[in-house]
Amino acid sequence: MISVDPFDLVIFGGTGDLAMRKLLPALYRRYVDGQVPPTSRIIGVARASDASDNYRATVRDAVQRAVKNVDAPTLDKFLALVSYTGLDATTDTGWKEFAADLKTHSGKVHVFYLSTSPSLFVGICDRLRAYGLNGDGARVVIEKPIGKDLASATEINDAVGSAFAEKQVFRIDHYLGKETVQNLLALRFGNILFEPLWKAAHIDHVQITVAETVGLEKRASYYNTAGALRDMVQNHLLQLLCMVAMEAPASLDADAVRDEKLKVLRSLKAIGANNAILTTVRGQYRAADRNLRRAQGRSRQLALGRCAVLPADGQASANSRVGNRDSVSFDSAFDLFAERRTDRAEPLDPALAARRRREAVADDQITRSWRPALAGSAARHELRRGLRCVAARCL
């Protein structure tokens, strides 16, 4: 087990979906495994004013939903490390007191996790610097997406770089923390059965599927400006593509792995305005049914959801031309066919239930038709035709 020094972890956006569904349950698991020293603190920060006791109750519910077989006494001890601070990232109100509190624990590592909209990154980093919270013991973690285009990404990186040294900055994609994703590297380079066969001569094409089972939760305002492409494709799925296509790095050092990933990214064929319509199929979530219960689709949640990026007539949306994987086509860069489930679902009347059952059967037939590996352009054409029918019905 890796030992960890005492720390103060500040989660900006501490009441958000990412913090509640991923970060705080993960921190509880680390606590159970002995990697959160008892003198550490976990501070949730958000705009709303609230008491720490109320925040702990919310965190308790989040951990109990996400973690199986929670031990109540252990959870109580973990929650004793958790507190809450109401702070607006766009004004200076409350920052002086916030900084003073952190400076009373100056011997610890201070980690600032920016689980917020990218539009707040610059303001937060500017204030962390202005109030002297960017010392050698500070770390800043930036969640994807970093901006909405090249100009905003450059602005964010410049602002972060002016406040923190590069060694203090961690640009993170939480998707890479999934166990299955982490196992990809071991499967690729440590498995004597697969490693010799992971070559273009033996692989026709690769499909990468992301099957989501949750909706937007509390992310509607973020998703309405970011959308599925920025939220999923340009980070999560490109990372997966890199891990599947890259050559073995010289070491597992972060820089060595990054260099191999960059080689993959630089070899991809770009999808631009002139060929996007030929290489992608776009659609939206619609309401999904599970056991005749209704779940809200995209039209009720205000964000782009159902989306597939697929090849057209044999033209791959992404081709890896790296080393021995020359000309292996990655046929599905983004395939998000998900059902939205909710505990607040309502029973449907019999007529509506029967109609939706028929729609579900039609969707299943289409889905089964494109899940298998696609061998030729005729199959790809049928796949696109089926998806266009789905998209037309959903839009």
Contact 124, 30 (CB under 8 A): no
Alpha-carbon gap, residue 336 to 284, rounded angstroms: 10
**Distance, CA of 379 to CA of 374 (rounded, Å):** 6
How many C-beta neighbours within 10 Å does residue 359 have?
Answer: 15
- In whole angstroms, what is the distance from residue 184 CA to residue 140 CA? 27
d(C-alpha 310, C-alpha 334), whole Å: 8
For residues 238 and 334, give the distance between their C-alpha atoms in angstroms, rounded to a whole number: 9
Say if CB 47 and CB 87 are below 8 A apart: yes
**How far apart, in whole angstroms, are the C-alpha atoms of residue 110 and residue 8?**
5
Instruction: Check whether the bond before 145 is cis (ω within 30° of 0).
Output: yes
CA distances from 183 to 14, 26, 177, 178, 240 (A): 29, 18, 10, 9, 11
Are the C-beta atoms of 56 and 41 separated by less than 8 Å?
Answer: no
Start-to-end CA span in the chain (Å): 50
> CA 108 to CA 111: how far, in whole Å?
9
Query: Would you list the DSSP string of 72-84?
Result: HHHHHHHHTTEEE
Q: 105, 174, 202, 236: which one is catalytic?
A: 236
How far from chain centre, in Å, is Cα 230? Answer: 10
User: Measured at the alpha carbon of residue 158, what is the angle toward residues 155 and 160, in degrees to the nearest 5?
Assistant: 110
Q: Among 307, 276, 312, 283, which Cα is nearest to 384's?
A: 312
Residue ranges in the chain assigned as alpha helix (H): 17-18, 24-32, 52-66, 72-79, 95-103, 121-130, 150-163, 179-189, 220-228, 238-245, 254-267, 276-279, 298-301, 350-370, 377-394
Q: Is 202 among the catalytic positions?
A: no
What residues are labeled active site? 236
